[in-house]
Amino acid sequence: MGQRATALEREIVSTREHMTRTIDLMERQFKRTVDWQTKVRANPLPYVLAALAAGFILAGGPRRTFATLAKLRPPKKTRLERLLENLPEGVADALLPPVKRLPDVAGLPAELQKRIREAEREHERQLRRDDEERLRRVARASSFERIALKLAETVGTAVAGILVKQLMERMEPKEDAGGERG
């Protein structure tokens, strides 16, 4: 009976050691799976590209990029500019910003008077369109700012929650091998 007890004891010790090695192996694999820093170091390209894409979108994304490219192209002439090209230089200069009203166009030929009035009306329309566009840009910018602020609040709340959780885990008493808190 003594030999049988010794064999059982060896088997129990062997099983315990095997379980310990298996648990250690599983723990290392779990830590490797969850360890994002190691993953980033091992293969940084996808994470760098994702960060660049996020930065691109937060910085204005395709809309701002296309707007910048559009600014590089020579601007399309407005109807007012095309009309001013057909007027004599002195008259056209009087209509350019700052806009000056011509003192007397009565002595000019009827066709020229008509073109001058049309250019003045077009200039006023252009000024109204410019004002409306400026207001639209301000409205878009303020909505972007509101979205960015909400995003920053959300990220801040998430980071604060993670930090509080980590702090609580560190402050929590550890259990020793016997199951007692110490």
Task: Output the pLDDT for position 182.
Answer: 47
Distance CA 101, CA 104 (A): 9
* SS3 label, residue 175: strand
- Residue 22 φ/ψ region, left for φ over 0, alpha for ψ in the -120 to 50 degree band, beta for the rest: alpha
Give me the half-sphere count of Cα atoms (radius 13 Å) on the Cβ side of residue 33. Answer: 6
* 98 token code pair: 């700052």
Listed in sequence order, the residues at least 6 apart from 148 whose beta carbon sits closer than 8 Å to its beta carbon are 58
| Alpha helices (H) in the chain, listed in sequence order | 2-34, 36-42, 44-58, 61-72, 79-85, 89-95, 110-171
Task: Output the pLDDT for position 101.
Answer: 57
- C-alpha gyration radius of the chain: 38
Task: Output the pLDDT for position 108.
Answer: 77
* 74 token code pair: 């020579």
Distance CA 138, CA 46 (A): 35
The pTM for the full model equals 0.30
**Per-residue tens of pLDDT for the chain, all 182 residues:** 678 889 999 999 999 999 999 999 999 888 877 787 877 888 888 888 888 888 888 877 777 777 777 778 877 777 777 777 777 777 777 766 654 555 566 777 888 878 888 888 888 888 888 888 888 877 776 777 778 878 888 888 888 888 888 888 888 766 555 555 44
- Which residue from 117, 123, 131 is spatially nearest to 78, judged by alpha carbons? 123
- Which residue from 68, 139, 83 is spatially nearest to 116, judged by alpha carbons? 83
140 phi/psi in degrees, rounded to 5: -65, -45
Task: Output the pLDDT for position 35.
Answer: 80
Q: How many CB atoms sit inside 10 A of residue 95's CB? A: 19
